[in-house]
Amino acid sequence: MLRTEDGSAFTAEQQAAVRDRIAAAEDVEGVEQVVDPFATEADRAEQQAAVDGGRTQLEQGRAQLDDGRAQLDAGQAQLDAARAQLEAGQEQLDAARAQAKAAGALAVVGPDLDAQQAQVDAGLAQLAEQQAQLDAQRTQLGEGVAQLEQQAEQLELGARLLDLAREIRMVSEDGSAALVTVVFTETQFEVADETKEAVVEAFGTEPAEGVVADVSTELVLGVPEIVGPGEVVGLVVAGVVLVVMLGTLATAGLPIVTALVGVAIGALGALAFSGVVEMVSVTPVLGLMLGLAVGIDYSLFIVNRHRRQLVQGYDVDESVGLANGTSGNAVVFAGATVLIALLALNVTGIPFLGLMGTVGAACVAIAVLVAVTLTPALLSLLGLRVLRRGERAHLERHDVAPPVVPAVRPMSTRSAVLRVLAGVAALLVVAAPAASLRLGLPTGLSEPAESSQYQAYATTAEKFGEGRNGTLLVVADLPEAPADDDLLAEQVRIAERIAAQDDVVAVAPVGTSEDGTVAAFQVIPADGPTSESTEELVNGLRALSPLDGDVPIAVAGAASGNIDISDKLANALPAYLAVVVGLSIVILVVVFRSLFVPVIATLGFVLSYFAALGGVVAIYQWGWLGAVFGVDNPGPVLNFLPTILVGILFGLAMDYMLFLGSGMREAYAHGAPARLAVVQGVRAGRAVVTAAAIIMISVFGGFVFAESAMIRPIGFSLAFGVLVDAFVVRMLLVPALMHLAGDRAWWLPRWLDRLLPDVDVEGSALERRHPHVEHPADDAAADGGAAPVPSGAAPARDR
């Protein structure tokens, strides 16, 4: 998009400078053609002038033919009058000859009568010759009329096509803006970034004095920035949370360091992999987002367990191994749930989405491997420095007291009922906007107002109409190749049928195939590519096929392609959600050995999922709080966001359910009453889950203000989804429902209990084999006393 800075029409000097830039762009390898807008407008003006001149010539030709027809009619009248005179003279001559014959004077007057007869015959012969000439002239006139009508018909067809395409301009009406179309030798998704960059450089930001060049999203849509200010802020917030929770800078920095190592491996691997396969530009950033968030959290779980054991008096080496065997085991299982959910994106049948899931799963797998390998190694190196100074001082004085378990009591039933009602009602209200969900891809209008993409989109909409940003391509398959004289009529017939549809601004033929059986048309809709009217237009055009019963038509183009992808994603979402929900129930039944817990955990995930979608719709589609989140022009939600959100949020929700629910399960298995076990489990896991959720929210929230319009809604949906799932579903709804269920929450049919494997996610068996190590000062065990028992142990229920 080229525009003058002062809004005046392009001068001749500016047009010449732009043509030089166009020539330079055409020399770029991979560019087939760069369309000169000024030459195109000049050609269009010449065509219109030719039509207007042709109409004038036709009118003149019609007038000349009318004059010729009048002259022929006058000549015919003269010939008819002369013939009538000769025929009258012939009758008189015949009468005179009859009279002379009757009077016997034929011999006397015969010669004179013969002379008169010769004159009459000569006159008739001359009239016959003149009639032949006149008939020949009339035939020529008829041919001229037929030729003129044929020309008039072709001219009229051409004029109708020009009228249909009148609004397809390359230079705005005021002459202050021009569209430059670049045609590449490869398809849009196969054009190398280097080629696009070379084209952009050929024009520059100021291709001529007083002229500004704005580049569309198609030319600058590459891999977004991996790290920006928002991501740095998110890391800073995560660091603050870790310092508050863990107490030392060294300990707080350990999860961040391990996460960054995993992210570096995953992100660089994704970027390297992009050279082998074609992937959506947001894919590496998604891997970074996931790897960073889960990497910090997974390392935090192990570090927190290790610190707690050290405070209880464990040796460093034994504590590291035990922490990795318990919390590390849980991390592996939690990571596996995220991994499976992301890999399940491949079942949608949408290649780019499956690839996003695969890359994200690889980054999560790397985060898990780093957490269970590098984290224990660093913990061993740090030794007791992972503890606060006061905690180390207590250990040095051998002042190790058994952990004090505060007295707790179950929540009241009334409180549990209120929690359920309030939580579900709040989630349903937040999720309500999700019913209005519309899917699409971001356009230049979604970019920051100061960006070149936004300016190109906005200027095009202002100077040429919204529809120029969402041009459609309609392809018609003709039953047979029409003759040259009939091709124009066929194009007009199809174009007028297309133009008759609602919200069509202009239609123009763009070419036919070599064999003449395929005709293509450019269609300009009334609104932009993400509008509802454009979507209805695409569906309406497809409903016309076959046109008049014999011409199948198809609709293509970037706008219709986005509509098709969005529809396919929307259709695949229910099946994928069903797969994930089914997977969730199976995993949780194995982990918690219960039917009730998996059901409420899965229903909670569904609520948090739709609440996250509701928030996205309200902000990015409706524009609520747009000033806060930088949404200047709301539009459809990123088409693959709902699907990718299922996989990611499911995995994270299962993480929180695992770390809270397993504490409830262990307390119940060690003899605590069911309702008391709920409170004990929440108290045991809420600190680490709260910290982990805040870290996740801060990391994902850092992407809310990313440069790319595709990244921002993904970051928000994940941050908001984690917020809702962790603090409303897992810490509010699930405990309340578990309380209301009581012992029934842990019911499992005996036959199913025998079939299920004992996965021991928290490593309880390992913990029982490594009980709390008493400090050497307490030598009762060394003197032959009974082996120490882990504090807080209680008779375990049969599992």
Q: How far apart are CA 216 and CA 622, in angstroms?
A: 24
pTM over 0.85: no
Q: Which pLDDT score, from 0 to 100, does residue 179 have?
A: 92
With both helix axes pointing from N to C terminus, report the angle between 193-203 and 12-26 in degrees, rounded to the nearest 10.
Answer: 160
**When comparing pLDDT for 412 and 109, which is higher?**
412
- Answer whether 620's CB lies under 8 Å from 695's CB: no
Q: Which of 94-108, 661-675, 712-726, 764-778 has the lowest mean pLDDT?
A: 764-778
592 has a pLDDT exceeding 50: yes
Name the percent of the chain lying above pLDDT 70: 92
pLDDT band at 343 (very low <50, low <70, confident <90, very high): confident
- Answer whether 463's CB lies under 8 Å from 177's CB: yes
List the beta bridge partners of residue 523: 472, 507
**3-state SS class at 228:** coil
Instruction: Count how many residues are written for the chain.
Output: 799
Q: Which pLDDT score, from 0 to 100, does residue 399 have?
A: 57
Report which secondary-structure segment, H or E, holds 475: strand 472-477
Section 311-335 average pLDDT? 87
Q: Are strands 637-638 and 439-440 parallel, antiparallel or unpaired?
A: parallel
- Answer whether 583's CB lies under 8 Å from 344's CB: yes
Q: Which pLDDT score, from 0 to 100, does residue 782 have?
A: 36
Structure tokens at 509: 């033929």
Q: Which pLDDT score, from 0 to 100, does residue 796 have?
A: 46
Distances (CA, A) of 254 to 287, 300, 323, 643, 685: 21, 8, 15, 33, 21
From the number of C-beta atoms within 10 Å of its C-beta (0-12, 13-18, 19+), residue 748 rates as middle
Quickly count: other Cβ atoms within 10 Å of residue 115's Cβ: 9
Section 399-406 average pLDDT? 56
To the nearest whole number, what is the mean pLDDT of the chain?
84
Nearest to 363 by CA among 276, 280, 288: 288
List the beta bridge partners of residue 524: 506
State the DSSP string of 529-590.
TTSHHHHHHHHHHHHHPSBTTTB-EEEESHHHHHHHHHHHHHHHHHHHHHHHHHHHHHHHHH
341 has a pLDDT exceeding 50: yes
Report which secondary-structure segment, H or E, holds 734: helix 734-741
Q: How far apart are CA 273 and CA 286, in angstroms?
A: 14
- Answer whether 211's CB lies under 8 Å from 437's CB: no
Nearest to 735 by CA among 611, 610, 600: 600
Please, what sign has the CA dihedral across residues 241, 243, 246, 249?
positive
From the number of C-beta atoms within 10 Å of its C-beta (0-12, 13-18, 19+), residue 332 rates as middle
156 has a pLDDT exceeding 60: yes
pLDDT band at 58 (very low <50, low <70, confident <90, very high): low
56 has a pLDDT exceeding 80: no
pLDDT band at 768 (very low <50, low <70, confident <90, very high): low
Q: Over the stretch 515-555, which tens digit does the pLDDT of each residue have? A: 888 999 999 999 988 888 999 999 999 999 888 888 899 99
Q: Over the stretch 237-289, which tens digit does the pLDDT of each residue have? A: 888 888 888 888 888 899 999 999 998 898 888 878 777 777 777 788 888 88
Q: Give residue 397's identity as a one-letter amino acid code.
A: R
Kindly report the CA angle at 730 between 724 and 736, in degrees rounded to 5?
120
788 has a pLDDT exceeding 80: no
**3-state SS class at 599:** helix
113 has a pLDDT exceeding 50: yes
781 has a pLDDT exceeding 60: no
Name the percent of the chain lying above pLDDT 90: 28
Q: Over the stretch 610-654, which tens digit does the pLDDT of each residue have? A: 999 999 999 999 999 988 888 888 888 988 899 889 888 887 888
